[in-house]
Amino acid sequence: MVELNARGDELVFRFPEVHPEAALRVSFRRTLRIPDDGKDYPLPPGLGNFPMRLVDDFSGNVPKPWMRDGGVMLPMYQAEALWVGFNTREVDDRAEYPFAIKISTGKVNAASGQRMRKGLNMEPQDYVVAPRQPWVDGYCVEKGVIRQFVAMPLGSGYSVEEQVTGSGEFGGMQVLVYPMKRSAFEKRFPKPEPMGRRYELSGPEDSPNVCYCLRPHSMGFAPGGRMRQEVYEDPYEPEEWDLENYSHCFVHIANSEVWGEITGKRPPYPPMTAVEYSRYGLPWFDYYAEEGAEAIDGAEKLKGLKSVKEMGEMKGDGPLPGNGTVERLRVREIGRKPRLVREGELESPKPVNFTHDYLKKFWDAL
């Protein structure tokens, strides 16, 4: 089952029939739109979660196709970017419960470029695995390179859905989640032997997260600038995934002007541009995964996509305001890169009498 958390900014996929602790949290994060200039950029920052609302709560104001698909909706400005974050729960101090996650936009898979379907395809891999993959920022176009998810009006020809299928029927984003089988989890991560009394500190389950719109209701996702990001190979065996138990959710994208008409609430303010962000000296990021994590190859169907800038040049449009190149970046390293300890010499070249040497230097100085 899928829940919208109390704050309305995170989806929770729960599988109590598989394991009582099998829960995946999925957030949709506001971020900088990186320049679409052919350069490969590091990770931009997260600027907080998008607000989400249940489609069913606004049945009289949303398009009929949204009611058919259910799910949730969130507001985005034209040419605004997002990334999808994954948060898993640790079970009995053993390991975080694993999930296989398929992300599609307009029912086109963001990892493989294929049409969305049930099941997990291994060749090419059409899903990501949490917790190994902490987030996804876009379409896997090359090994170690993605093109950012950028919102564009559906029907304008920019979206990946329209470029791949020739039509803009669905738009938005679709999330499909499979848990690991409980038997596979117990085998891979057995319970440790008890080691006496334990003391635990508990806290609240939910922790706080730290161009203008066109008229059409629905938005799709188009490929934006190039970003250095790896989509990691599945470290588990295919038979370890529970394909009988799954949950999915449609995430509809409303342009921000229409969001106000539907919900009566103001959308978030437009984010700053990458140039403005860097002018203040704020950081970008490089992520280092755990040792042994290998990246999948880019999808052949996605390599030939035209970015928003390229498509705009073909159409004679200017769809990317504030697309200036960023020359100087402050980049911080995050993730699990090991910090090496300097070892020093085990043996000195000659014995040292620390007291004698110290006193000799002291008397010489006098």
- Please give the pLDDT value at position 37: 92
3-state secondary structure of 101: strand
Nearest residue to 10 (alpha-carbon basis) of 251, 267, 302: 251
Q: Check residues 200 and 340 and name the one with the higher pLDDT.
A: 340
Query: Nearest Cα to 331, choosing from 272, 277, 289?
Result: 277
Question: What pLDDT sits at residue 326?
Answer: 83
| 271: containing domain | 2-189+207-340
**How sure is the predictor about 356, in pLDDT bands with cuts at 50, 70 and 90?**
very low
Confirm if 177 and 120 have CB atoms less than 8 A apart.
no
Which tens digit of pLDDT belongs to each residue from 92-103?
889 999 999 999
Would you give the distance in Å from CA 114 to the centre of its chain?
19
Q: For residue 163, which phi and psi values (nearest 5 degrees)?
A: -70, -35
The string of pLDDT tens digits covering residues 10-61 is: 999 999 999 999 999 999 999 999 999 999 999 998 899 999 999 999 998 9
> What's the pLDDT at 257?
83
Determine what percent of the chain is predicted with pLDDT higher than 90. Answer: 58
Collect all residues with Cβ–Cβ distance below 8 Å to 320 and sequence separation of at least 6: 33, 36, 79, 211, 308, 309, 312
Burial of 348 (0-12, 13-18, 19+ CB in 10 A): exposed
Q: Poorest-confidence range of 20-29, 66-75, 170-179, 189-198? A: 189-198
Structure confidence at residue 331 (pLDDT)? 83
Residue 345 lies in a domain: no
CA distance linking residue 358 with residue 360, whole number of Å: 6
Q: Give the predicted TM-score (pTM) of the model.
A: 0.83
Q: How many residues are listed for the chain in this entry?
A: 366
| Whether the predicted pLDDT of 213 surpasses 50 | no
The pLDDT mean for the chain works out to: 85
Residue 78 has pLDDT above 70, yes or no: yes
Does 219 map to a domain? yes
Q: How far apart are the first and last CA of the chain?
A: 81
How large is the average pLDDT for residues 275-296? 80
Question: Residue 25's pLDDT is what?
Answer: 97
CA nearest neighbour of 332 among 364, 365, 285: 285
- C-alpha–C-alpha distance, residues 97 and 119, integer Å: 19
Output the pLDDT for position 204: 35
Residue 361 in any domain: the answer is no
Report how many domains make up the chain. 1
The answer to the question of residue 281 being in a domain is yes
Catalogue the E-assigned strands of 19-94.
Answer: 23-31, 40-41, 46-49, 53-54, 72-76, 81-88, 90-91
State pLDDT tens for residues 300-350. Answer: 889 889 999 999 888 888 778 778 888 778 888 776 655 556 666 666 555
pLDDT at site 83: 95
Residue 346 lies in a domain: no
- Give the pLDDT confidence score for residue 288 in this predicted structure: 67
Does residue 224 lie within any of the structural domains?
yes
> Is 168 inside any structural domain?
yes
Residue 52 lies in a domain: yes
